[in-house]
Structure 1
């Protein structure tokens, strides 16, 4: 069975999702790593990482993210979406930020997530993902509702 079919089946019941219920639905997909890892795409020219939307409807969006060694996303939020991600390969460094009155983002926390670990993303979180390792980082992210209105932020320089 294809990953998109599994996601459609697991997410067919409810119309509203929380970070916890997204994680629970994803945990119900057997062999998630084997289904999702081959769907990782290389970054397109001019982009730091690969992003492959593997399923989307009016309620949810599922994306396989591939961060090559040394790559990072921009500091961003997810608009009004909530989400959950699982690291499938490699190690993810996730930096959480607080937006200051100046409009710049200041890093407030850094966490590392190994392959097989989950990361929940409540609405309003500002973060950046990095691959500090020598191997590729592949993760699967599901957002509800689908990502719309994401914002990028300039980060304050560390002193």
Structure 2
């Protein structure tokens, strides 16, 4: 049996989402999913020493991204703007640091996080779920380059980025590195995908 292609999988996800009054649980069935590698090719835009966010599909209720990670890169510690989301490893290995919120952190300003629960390294087919009750994490590509598939139960345009030393968080506008396979021009001095546009 051959693996499912990304386009076919997105179409099935859209059909499932259309039949649901709420998108809670839309990522069920991601565990063990590894898509046909050739179907990912149009969305594979790697950048040295960083990761890229590549939009595959988006409507008012659903967003699908393919993120490409250079070896050893990590995201900032961040939340998901109140959205439920799923992170599915397609290739490579990742370590997740999941942080409990102890105080503040519901908007820009003071925020204190507890010690992280470290998960991984995890490989292809592994899934991490973030929900409004446990939204904060940092993701690191362990070892070589890696690819992750992200499903958001609603588009995420902003998130909070946390500074654990200063016990603060700031709001950041998210940006894409490519739209539907077409690369966007890089922004000058943009250190990460969670930088302002």
Residue aligning to 1:155: 164
Residue aligning to 2:26: 21
Residue aligning to 1:9: 12
Residue aligning to 1:95: 97
RMSD: 2.7
Q: Matched residues in 1 for 2:68 and 2:36: separation?
A: 13
Per residue, is there more helix in 1 or in 2? 1
Gap change, CA 1:92 and 1:60, over 3 Å in 2: same
Q: Matched residues in 1 for 2:161 and 2:56: separation?
A: 23
Q: Which runs of 4+ in 1 moved over 6 A?
A: none
Tell me which of 140, 143, 146 is aligned to 2:149.
Answer: 140
TM-score normalised to structure 2 length: 0.66
Residue aligning to 2:131: 122
CA contact (8 A) 2:90 2:149 kept: yes
Tell me which of 88, 110, 117 is aligned to 1:109.
Answer: 117
Q: Matched residues in 1 for 2:55 and 2:115: separation?
A: 28
- Show structure 1 runs of 5+ residues with no match: none
Residue aligning to 1:43: 47
CA contact (8 A) 2:6 2:36 kept: no
What is the aligned length? 151
Larger radius of gyration: 2
CA contact (8 A) 2:98 2:116 kept: yes
Deviation at 1:119, TM superposition (A): 1.4
TM-score normalised to structure 1 length: 0.80
Tell me the alpha carbon deviations over residues 8-67 of structure 1, each in whole angstroms, 9 at most, x when there is no partner.
Answer: 33222334222x43132x57x8x62425542221138xx721110111011110011111
Matched, 1:73 2:75: yes
Indicate the larger mover: 146-155 or 51-60. Answer: 146-155
- Show structure 2 runs of 5+ residues with no match: 104-109, 167-197
